[in-house]
Amino acid sequence: MFPAIRRAMRSLSIQVVAAFVGVIIATAFISGIPAYRLIRLELEQQAWMHVLDGAQTTRALFDAEKNRLSDMAALTAQRPTLQRLLREEDSTELNEYLLVFQTDTGLDILVIRDSSGNVLSGSQWSPLPYSQDASFYMLSDPEPALALIASQSIYDPQTSELLGHVTVGAFLNDAFLRQLEDQTGLGQSIIMGGQRVATSLPDTPAMIDPLMVEQAAALTKGEVCVAEQKDACYYVVLQSLTDSRGRDVAQVEAALPVNKLLVTERRALDTLILAALLIAVICSTLGGLYARRLTSPLRQLTFAARNISRGDFITPVPVPREPDEIATLAHALEESRVNTYRALDDLSQARAWLDTLIQSVIEGIVTVDQQGKITSFSQGASRITGWARKAALGQPLDDILKPVEQDKPLRNLIPSNGTMRQISVMTAQGRTATLAVTGAKLKPPNGGTRQTVLVFRDMTEEEAAQRLRAYFLANISHEFRTPLSALNASVELLIDEIEDFSVAERWELLNSIHRSGKGLQTLIDNLLESSKIEAGRFSIRCRPTDLNDIIADATQTINPLLERRQQTLSVTEPMGLQDVDVDPTRMAQVLVNLLSNASKYSPVGGPIDLIVEWADDHLLRISVADRGPGISPADQASLFRRFVRLDAQDGTQYGVGLGLSVVKAIVEEHGGAVGVDARQEGGSIFWFTLPLKGD
């Protein structure tokens, strides 16, 4: 009998009867707590708004006081008696007049200066600055205080002669702040250097809490700071007061006592707690504890089910001993959670691994559905095409990758499975890219329609490099043959007919041999340096060297070429140029390459400028300016790459495109930079910088 009764008591249908106890208790708190919070928020909001409005009113009253003092200074400067006394320079009558005037106007400060700035009256305020606009001024003698002052110049109305200056002011003392309190309803204090120098608040400490100042300074618009002083609590707003230069000299503190507000909040909270405790006692008497114990497993199971529905498969499901229905359901839910977690973990690891593989592949991978729209776009595809993944997804493939010089869209150019095809397309930046494309048709694992998978690799640089190498090999023989032919011809003439040549003709042939040899030497030097750079064995040996020696060496090397083309070279450099820490041989090679290019691409008889100047205290800038055809911005970007060269004015092509790449490598190895600018008078300016090491 007893086991049957015990099983009946475990039944969920019997336990639900006791659930009303929990409902009653929950209702009391659910209805009471929001009401308390609403009342509290409303009271605090009203107090905050009152403080902020009072702070704005305080600022407006200070502005009004500024305007009053500015007007008072202007009216004082226009008084005929004062102007007359200043013209007559009667100091005794002037002091008597100002004493009566200050008494009548109630001014705390009245200072008169002559046109030279010397104080004629009010000498105790001689340090006061002259400021036509009203501003705050901090006084420290005999004790810290703050004054609001304004100044005005005094002119003779007939001759417009400057007679002097007048400065008026008022102390911001306790009496003034009490007037502010009457008008704003807030306690007012003046704070200087963390100390209250004047206040309308009773029993207020002179020093204030620095933490409170920091908190108030960090508050944004619409917020206030809570400050506790002795037995009182205030809502506080701090505002800065600035002098004529805009510097903070003091702060005005607007404070609202909120003790009554706190008392009201405590009473409301006490009432709510008392009511809740009373309801809890009554409900517990009716069986609340028993109901809570019986419904606790169901609440735990509900909470676990919600976690699972939100994707939390880590937190285990609590399995209660009773009731039987909930225990059975909890066991089943826990088993389902464990199995689902294992399956999702396996799928997550597999997907993460697959995504990592796809994103790490340098080639681009794109999938396209049957409508020709992109369904996935890898990181490699973004890098190659210039299209962002978000911008490409969902767009037609033919709009993202447009074939160049092809009448068919890209979808019709995709090769079949297992084959590759090179296709030139337009990137997002308008650049032509050659892609090696392979394609395949696959069916997604979710059973959807077949999609086309494209895998492509950027072949643009490889093709360009192959073309440049072919171009280099095709032209290197010509570059060697030309100076060798001239060299051999000159030598043969000297051997066969040296006796018949005059001294001038012999020197001309020797100069031709010298020029050919120097040209071969420059070409070979550039080839050797380019090979070292490509092999990663390029290095420099720096030592302190006179830059003039390097320039002289380069000029001597390039002089035969300049003489042949009837060109002049001018060198400009600063006075007192110190030694530079460079590799002199390599730096001379840089100058030779730049000067030879300037000579080749400048017209015959044209001048060439070599300019050495200071870019800053620790950086030299060396420029070579020619009078050539100039270089387009599109060519400037690739000009310092290997095998890149331009045509001269007459259409002749010079060199194999190695000189500027060697220049760039040598300069950057020295820690400098290299570049080219357009010359306003026509031509180009090739420049490089050399950093100077400190002493």
What pLDDT, in 10s, does the model give residues 174-189?
Answer: 888 888 888 888 888 8
Quote the pLDDT of residue 674: 92
Q: What is the pLDDT of residues 305-359, one digit of tens each?
A: 777 777 777 778 777 776 777 777 777 777 777 787 777 777 766 666 666 655 5
pLDDT of residue 13: 44
Please give the average per-residue pLDDT across 483-506, as a whole number.
67
Candidate from 4-8, 425-429, 636-640 with smallest mean pLDDT: 4-8
d(CA 592, CA 559): 10
SS3 254: strand
686 pLDDT higher than 90: yes
Quickly state the pLDDT bin for 108 (edges 50, 70, 90).
confident
Segment (H or E) for 606: none
CATH of the domain at 309: 1.10.8
Task: Give per-residue pLDDT as tens, 114-170.
Answer: 888 888 887 666 677 777 778 888 887 667 888 888 888 889 888 888 889 989 888
Based on the fold, state whether residues 266 and 305 are members of the same structural domain.
no
The mean predicted confidence, pLDDT, of the chain is: 75
Three-state helix/strand/coil letters over 277-340: HHHHHHHHHCCHHHHHHHHHHHHHHHHHHHHHHCCCCCCCCCCCCCCHHHHHHHHHHHHHHHHH
Within-domain flag for 13: no
Most confident of 210-219, 462-471, 534-543: 534-543
> What's the whole-model pTM score?
0.38
At 608 the pLDDT is 93
Based on the domain organization, do 130 and 179 belong to the same domain? yes
* pLDDT bucket at 625, cuts 50 / 70 / 90: very high
Whether residues 443 and 543 share a domain: the answer is no
Assess contact for 438 and 415: CB atoms under 8 A.
yes
Per the domain annotation, does 160 fall within a domain?
yes
- Of the residues 405, 424, 458, which one is the last residue of a structural domain? 458
Predicted confidence at residue 261, as pLDDT, reads 63
310, amino acid identity? R
Asked whether 691 and 667 are in contact (CB, 8 A), the reply is: no
Mean pLDDT of 448-456: 78
Q: Which of 431, 458, 485 is the last residue of a domain?
A: 458
Looking at the structure, tell me whether residues 308 and 392 fall in a common domain.
no
List CB contacts of 685: < 8 A, sequence separation 6 or more: 623, 624, 625, 676, 677, 678, 679
Is there a contact between 230 and 250 (Cβ–Cβ < 8 Å)?
A: no
Percent of the chain having pLDDT more than 70?
68
**Together in a domain, 231 and 325:** no
Closest CA to 596 of 672, 655, 509: 655
Q: Sign of the C-alpha dihedral, residues 240, 243, 249, 251?
A: negative
- Determine which of 84-93, 194-203, 628-637 has the lowest per-residue pLDDT on average: 628-637
CATH number for the domain including 113? Answer: 3.30.450.220
Per-residue pLDDT at 635 exceeds 90: no
User: Residues 301, 315: contact at Cβ < 8 Å?
Assistant: no
Q: Are residues 454 and 366 in the same domain?
A: yes
Picking from 198, 40, 5, the residue whose alpha carbon sits closest to that of residue 108 is 198
pLDDT in tens, 261-287: 666 667 766 776 777 667 666 766 666
What are the φ and ψ backbone dihedral angles of 13, each rounded to 5 degrees? -65, -35
Domain boundary, last residue among 429, 458, 487: 458
Based on the domain organization, do 318 and 450 belong to the same domain? no
- For residues 174 and 221, membership in a common domain is answered with yes
Long-range CB pairs of 77-83, under 8 A, 24+ apart, other chains included: 77/152, 77/153, 77/154, 77/155, 77/166, 80/157, 82/112, 82/154, 82/166, 83/154, 83/156, 83/157, 83/163
Pairwise CA distance, residues 433 & 384, whole Å: 8
627, 628, 629, 634: CA torsion to nearest 10: -110
The answer to whether residue 499 sits within a structural domain is no
Total structural domains within the chain: 4
User: Is 291 part of any domain?
Assistant: no
Phi, psi of 250 (to 5 degrees): -165, 175
Query: Residue 361 — pLDDT band, cuts 50, 70, 90?
Result: low
410 pLDDT tier (thresholds 50, 70, 90): confident
Q: Secondary structure of 563-600 in the HEC alphabet?
A: HHCCCEEEEECCCCCCCEEECHHHHHHHHHHHHHHHHH
Distances (CA, A) of 220 to 68, 209, 225, 304: 31, 20, 11, 42
Domain containing residue 613: CATH number: 3.30.565.10
Q: Do 180 and 265 reside in the same domain of the chain? A: yes
Per-residue confidence at 649, pLDDT binned at 50, 70, 90? very low
Q: Check pLDDT > 50 for residue 8.
A: no
Q: State whether 305 and 433 are in the same domain.
A: no
Assigned domain for 516 exists: no
Domain of 320 in residue numbering reads as 298-353
Mean per-residue pLDDT for 517-538? 62
Of 127-136, 291-300, 313-322, 475-484, which one has max mean pLDDT? 127-136
Question: Which stretch of DSSP H or E encloses residue 143?
Answer: none
CA gap 270, 272 in Å, rounded:
5
Does residue 370 share a domain with residue 347? no
CB 122 within 8 A of CB 109: yes
- Whether 344 and 366 map to the same domain: the answer is no
Domain containing residue 431: CATH number: 3.30.450.20
Strands 162-171 vs 109-114: parallel, antiparallel or unpaired: antiparallel
Whether 411 has a pLDDT exceeding 90, the answer reads no
Closest CA to 128 of 153, 100, 147, 155: 147
